[in-house]
């Protein structure tokens, strides 16, 4: 059986803790509802490859590519948010060197559950200071940006 004095002490301590808790205003008690998407177009990822600055934009749920300082103008197949495929386990965008003059980077989009994961991947073929989205788009499998791709997958984007 608990000592009567310790029960009184516990009750007094509980009263003091409740009294010391700051009172919240009506504004602080309301929970804020955050939008799932930003209304304005915004950058989701960026990198430099083959001497070109590349940025991916989420524009009303579509994935748009910006090359250099020009306005984003190239629509890509994967849906936003979209990200560049990174080297496995790294923070740096993965660049596949197809031949002496051609490099390829990959864009991941059409999100699924998971951080920076999606079910569509499209290549960007970089050659002679131009960027061309690949006609081929990998679909169906789930890929994550931080896992990278294999060389044979990058090779499919050049066909």
Rounded to 10 degrees, the C-alpha dihedral 117/56/33/110 comes to -40
Residue of 130, 45, 111, 132 whose CA lies nearest to 84: 45
Map out the domains of the chain as residue ranges: 42-156
Q: Band the pLDDT of 67: cuts 50, 70, 90.
A: very high
The mean per-residue pLDDT over the stretch 60-75 comes to 92
pLDDT at 136: 96
pLDDT at 38: 55
Question: Residue 120: beta bridge partners?
Answer: 109, 139
Select the more confidently predicted residue: 77 or 3. 77
Rounded-to-integer distance, Cα 125 and Cα 103, Å: 6
pLDDT at 55: 96
Q: Answer whether 48's CB lies under 8 Å from 54's CB.
A: yes
Place of tokens 């070109």: 52
User: pLDDT of 86-139, one tens digit each?
Assistant: 998 788 999 999 899 999 999 999 999 778 899 999 999 999 989 999 999 999
Q: Band the pLDDT of 48: cuts 50, 70, 90.
A: very high
Phi-psi sector, 77: left (phi>0), alpha (psi -120 to 50), beta: alpha
Strands 96-97 and 102-111: antiparallel
Which tokens hold the place of 152? 């044979």
User: pLDDT of 30-47, one tens digit each?
Assistant: 665 555 555 789 999 999
28 pLDDT higher than 80: no
Residue of 44, 67, 46 whose CA lies nearest to 125: 67
75 pLDDT higher than 60: yes
Q: Helix or strand or coil: residue 72?
A: coil
pLDDT at 2: 54
The mean per-residue pLDDT over the stretch 45-50 comes to 95
Rounded-to-integer distance, Cα 146 and Cα 97, Å: 19
């Amino acid at each position: 059986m608990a000592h009567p004095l310790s029960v009184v002490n516990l009750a007094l301590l509980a009263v003091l803790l409740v009294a010391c808790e700051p009172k919240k205003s009506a504004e602080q008690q309301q929970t804020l509802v955050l939008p799932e998407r930003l209304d304005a177009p915004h950058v989701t990822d960026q990198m430099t490859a083959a001497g070109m600055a590349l940025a991916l934009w989420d524009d009303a749920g579509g994935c748009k590519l910006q090359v250099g300082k020009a306005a984003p103008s190239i629509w890509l197949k994967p849906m936003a948010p979209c990200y560049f495929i990174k080297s496995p386990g790294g923070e740096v965008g993965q660049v596949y060197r197809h031949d002496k003059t051609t490099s390829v980077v990959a864009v991941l989009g059409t999100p699924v559950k998971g951080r920076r994961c999606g079910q569509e991947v499209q290549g960007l073929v970089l050659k002679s200071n131009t960027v061309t989205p690949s006609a081929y788009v990998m679909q169906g499998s789930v890929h994550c940006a931080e896992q990278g791709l294999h060389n044979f997958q990058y090779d499919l984007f050049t066909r």
